[in-house]
Amino acid sequence: MCGILAIHHVEGDIQAFKPKALHLSKQIRHRGPDWSGNCIRKQSILCHERLAIVGVDSGAQPLVSDDGKLVLTVNGEIYNHIALRESLKGQYEFKTHSDCEVILYLYREHGPACADMLDGMFSWVLYDENKDKVVAARDPIGITTLYQGFSSKSPETVYFASELKALHPVCDKIIAFPPGHFFDSETGETTRYFNPSWWDENRIPSNPIDYKLLRTTLENSVRKRLMAEVPYGVLLSGGLDSSLIASIAARETKKLANALEDSSEEARTITAWPRLHSFAIGLPGSPDLVAARNVAKFLGTSHHEHTFTVDEGLDAVRDVIYHLETFDVTTIRASTPMYLLSRKIKAQGVKMVLSGEGSDEIFGGYLYFGNAPSAADFHSECVRRVKNLHLSDCLRANKSTMAWGLEARVPFLDKEFLEVALNIDPKEKMYTAERKEKYILRKAFDTSDDPTAQPYLPKEILWRQKEQFSDGVGYSWIDALKDTAELQISDDQMANPKAEWGDDVPQTKEAYLYRLMFDELFPPQCASTVMRWIPKAEWGCPADPSGRYQAGHIAAIN
């Protein structure tokens, strides 16, 4: 992935404005340390900070169509790009091996709605010189980040960027661009293109569970995400989700040597590496490190275990907030270890990793789901949380890694997998005395009843209870954050929050501390893009988001 900046209908001399645009783009260069590019057409400028994963030698951006009339800047990966190229009706002169170049000609043949044809994660802005307009689009779930900005000083100008820090110096209004939508400056409208069957959270599905379909669809999702021309790995916490992704990736990596001999699409888009690399982080002796070590040994990965101290984590919190551009407690807690690990991974020469985000939302894996009053409520909460992933876990996975120019891919959020998993009767997902959280996902990969099958995971991992990532790295990490906030935020501050916060008032000292840090780093117009996780109190959910405060977790360890 990369960092993008696009500004349309710049007032005044566009060449005189160019140095300002390049300075704004430089603020997100950490997302694309490999190369920088820009292109001006009329009163529009598109900038790109590149992280080269596919088409390494020839995929520099912005990309320009064969007639020079379309210009494109993209942050993302298009997994079905070869099939899309072959589906084009016209004959086009492709200039690169980039997976993103096909968007230019899809747009030429299908218009802005071509976004719905893309299988991948992406945010892009395309300039159409014939119509002097821009079209912007974001992937269905919002795995990649994208913001849209406006300025009261130049009402006709519209701005787009991968991160807030490239917009707030020139925009006094900024919004998080909605996932699954495209914007057309010709009409000024933002239109939803992603309309899956599961989108209505009040429509309760009734499909029976098909374990084989669930398993093979996730395997397909992992397989397509191994499209890369650079070394890749997996983030391995030792929990169910990351361990399953690691298991599938390890199997697929072993298959690639044979696959490369045929002419399948996978063979044409994947570079085989002799051994899968896995990466784990935690405080010394943390539950995640122990579990990840066991998984890596079982899978035979080249495992890299990293530790951090509480002080190192605390020292990084302000930088984490700067890169994440949020003040949400849950996100900051989990992002800090991920941020530290990403730096280590990049230093080891890896540029792409697979990660396990999305599973807990899809299957109701958070322990408070055990208190859902009905299957319908359970399902509605799953869909609601998937819809908001772009403001929480997707944001964390994207920005924690991209802070160091590392790309994270999330197989659980594949469109096809979502279509299968979110159309299962929620009664199958409900907790019972015999069924712990994410039972059907565990069961789909449980081969214990087939003595000839190679197990995906050890039984103790496949059926390990859910830990929040921020808990699994070591419980003292959360305790240290809360203790630090207790020392720095007074009772008087809690009783007298800032008037400009309005109704969005922090409820804990830890939340208060993070909001103060955010305000020091970002101007007020950025705060409206942040969503704080609100506990579902009516389900008996504690105010503290830590998994270990959930009744289900307490009962399991007592």
User: Per-residue pLDDT for 551 more than 60?
Assistant: no
How far apart (Å, rounded) are the C-alpha atoms in residues 26 and 235? 28
Contact 472, 287 (CB under 8 A): yes
Q: What is the mean pLDDT of the chain?
A: 92
Q: What is the average per-residue pLDDT within 483-487? A: 98
User: Per-residue pLDDT for 469 more than 50?
Assistant: no
Is 114 known to be catalytic? no
- Tell me the HSE value of 6 on the side-chain side, using a 13 A CA sphere: 29
How confident is the model over 76-124, as pLDDT tens digits?
A: 999 999 999 999 999 999 998 899 999 999 999 999 999 999 999 999 9
Residue type, 11: E
- Partnered with residue 31 across adjacent β-strands are none
Annotated ligand binding at 281? The verdict is yes
Among the listed residues 300, 303, 277, the one whose alpha carbon sits nearest the alpha carbon of residue 290? 303
How far apart (Å, rounded) are the C-alpha atoms in residues 557 and 554? 6
Q: What is the average per-residue pLDDT within 465-494? A: 84
Provide DSSP, 469-484: HHHHT-HHHHHHHHHH
Strand order from edge to edge, sheet including 277-282: 302-307, 277-282, 232-235, 352-354, 407-409
Could you please state the CATH topology (level 3) that the domain comprising 211-464 is classified under.
Rossmann fold (3.40.50)
How confident is the model over 20-65, as pLDDT tens digits?
A: 999 999 999 999 999 999 999 999 999 999 988 877 776 689 999 9
Annotated ligand binding at 355? The verdict is yes
Same fold, 3-192 and 211-464: no
Torsion of CA 544, 442, 216, 425, to 10 degrees: -70
Annotated ligand binding at 332? The verdict is no
Based on the number of CB atoms within 10 Å of its own CB, is 494 exposed (0-12), middle (13-18) or buried (19 or more)?
Answer: middle
**Residues sharing a CB contact under 8 Å with residue 491, sequence separation 6 or more, in sequence order:** none
Contact 270, 392 (CB under 8 A): no
Annotated ligand binding at 406? The verdict is no
Quote the pTM value.
0.94
Query: Domain limits of the chain?
Result: 3-192, 211-464
How far apart (Å, rounded) are the C-alpha atoms in residues 13 and 452? 71
Give CA 294 to chain center in angstroms.
26
Query: Of these residues, 2, 39, 47, 114, which one is catalytic?
Result: 2
Class of domain 3-192: alpha beta
